[in-house]
Amino acid sequence: MKELVNRLARDHSLDANEYHKLIQDCDESTFDYLRKKAVAISVQRFGTGIYVRGLIEISSFCRNNCRYCGLRCENRTAERYRLSDDEILSCCDIGYDAGLRTFVLQGGEDVAFTDERLVSLVCRIKERYSDVAITLSLGERSMVSYKQLYAAGASRYLLRHEAASQELYSYLHPDNMSLQNRLSCIENLKAIGYQVGMGMMIGVPGQTVDHLVEDLLLMKEYNPHMIGIGPFIPHRETSFASASPGDLRQTLILLSIVRLMFPDALVPATTALSTLDAEGRKQGVLSGANVVMPNLSPADVRDKYSIYNNKLSIGAASVECMNLLEQELNSIGYQIDYSRGDYKTYGNE
Ligand code: 5AD
Ligand code: SF4
């Protein structure tokens, strides 16, 4: 097993059977070794600085009906809100003062956020703060839309592929959504020049180790700049209400594998990971993650952006408590890196 990890660290790739074995048969000593290697490569590339991104949840309206998500359109009990441009700009002001230099505008696929409106919003943020990076996480949009938003100043886009397996993707999504469409959006974003984020949940109902291997192979093919991996957490108003959450250990294994596959990638210790386990954020960093995304949404909407139950938005997960985050990172030998943290390739070792 150690030999597999060494080879992954050296070649940044394994074959399907080998990934399967690493995930399936990861005993304690392999787990420790895998994480050590992932941390070593992360520290070699990025040092002990952890990039921070301010997350602004701009709308809880969504036209989609993904089976796993609390914001699915058929959830009539979800509280819907939409931030105004001024509210979003106020969040940026707070974030900028706290030292953040990346804002992530995330939301459901809300038709009220037309291209026109988003272009104007992105321009206003860039006018006010020319030195920040704007990341969008607003789902599937047209090529024209993606192009206009890039021209307006957005430079990064998060669009998790969710499941590389056709079969699992169809199980998790309604018939009007397709893996093919998802992937063509990701291709479009890359072609335009965005730094693109992919990723998936760990432990979503129906997911097997084979599916995870497919996710890894797909990401190897697309070579994303950012990779978001977090545990599935059930939401009570979905058909997966009584499903078990994803496993912490398995999530950490996947984080470490991804770090070794993509040494330069920006990999967050996700909010879902911190929600699943009080030590999740630290454990994520100690498995190779190098980004955290404190919540910058107005306090009164945070509970409404409920993609899964009990989503953490306080303490070190929020922008008000960056000091706690700093302390938490210090306790494991890391610190916040306030720079923009764009994707860079460091060349072959
Ligand atoms: N548990 C964990 N993550 C979820 N997401 C959606 N629903 C859940 C859930 N129940 C993730 C999806 C989406 C991202 C914004 O949140 O992967 O891409
Ligand atoms: Fe909408 Fe995203 Fe939730 Fe799917 S996962 S229902 S697209 S907010």
pLDDT digits (tens, 9 = 90+) for 40-50: 999 999 999 99
- Residue 345: per-residue pLDDT: 85
Mean pLDDT of the chain: 96
User: What is d(CA 286, CA 300) in angstroms, rounded to the nearest whole number?
Assistant: 32
User: What is d(CA 292, CA 269) in angstroms, rounded to the nearest whole number?
Assistant: 6
Confidence (pTM) = 0.96
Residue 205: domain span: 2-337
- Condensed to tens digits (0 to 9), the pLDDT of residues 54-75 reads 999 999 999 999 999 999 999 9
Q: Which of 326, 318, 278, 321 is nearest to 302 (CA)?
A: 318
Q: Given the CA of residue 158, which atom of ligand 1 is nearest to it?
A: 18
pLDDT for 348 beyond 90: no
End-to-end alpha-carbon separation of the chain, Å?
A: 23
- Condensed to tens digits (0 to 9), the pLDDT of residues 93-142 reads 999 999 999 999 999 999 999 999 999 999 999 999 999 999 999 999 99
Q: Is residue 347 part of a domain?
A: no
Three-class HEC string of 233-258 = CCCCCCCCCCCCCCCHHHHHHHHHHH
What stretches of 153-303 show up as alpha helix (H) in DSSP?
Answer: 166-172, 179-192, 209-222, 248-261, 271-276, 280-285
Q: Given the CA of residue 69, which atom of ligand 2 is nearest to it?
A: 3
| 229: β partners | 200
- Condensed to tens digits (0 to 9), the pLDDT of residues 79-91 reads 999 999 999 999 9
**Considering only CA atoms, which residue is closest to atom 6 of ligand 1?**
69
Q: Is residue 184 part of a domain?
A: yes
User: What is d(CA 145, CA 111) in angstroms, rounded to the nearest whole number?
Assistant: 12
Q: Is residue 345 part of a domain?
A: no
Which CA distances in Å does 85 have to 91, 113, 146, 243, 316? 10, 10, 19, 37, 26
Q: Is residue 151 part of a domain?
A: yes
Number of domains forming the structure of the chain: 1
Q: Is 138 in the pocket of ligand 1 (CB under 6 A)?
A: no
CATH assignment of the domain containing 303: 3.20.20.70
Nearest ligand, measured from the Cα of 162:
1
Q: Given the CA of residue 233, which atom of ligand 1 is nearest to it?
A: 1
Q: Is 219 in the pocket of ligand 1 (CB under 6 A)?
A: no
Distance 6 CA to ligand 2 centre (A): 37
Distance 95 CA to ligand 2 centre (A): 25
Q: Who contacts 133 (Cβ-Cβ below 8 Å, separation ≥6)?
A: 101, 102, 103, 155, 156, 340, 341, 342
Instruction: Give the three-class secondary structure for 25.
Output: coil
Q: Which of 85-94, 314-323, 330-339 has the lowest mean pLDDT?
A: 314-323
The pLDDT-based confidence of 349 (bands split at 50, 70, 90) is: very low
Q: Is residue 348 part of a domain?
A: no
User: What is d(CA 308, CA 97) in angstroms, rounded to the nearest whole number?
Assistant: 30
Q: Are 193 and 218 in contact (CB under 8 A)?
A: no
Q: Are 66 and 177 in contact (CB under 8 A)?
A: yes
- Residue 304: per-residue pLDDT: 87
Neighbours of 18 (CB within 10 A): 15
Q: Is residue 61 part of a domain?
A: yes
- Condensed to tens digits (0 to 9), the pLDDT of residues 141-176 reads 999 999 999 999 999 999 999 999 999 999 999 999
Q: Is residue 294 part of a domain?
A: yes
Which CA distances in Å does 44 have to 13, 21, 269? 19, 27, 18
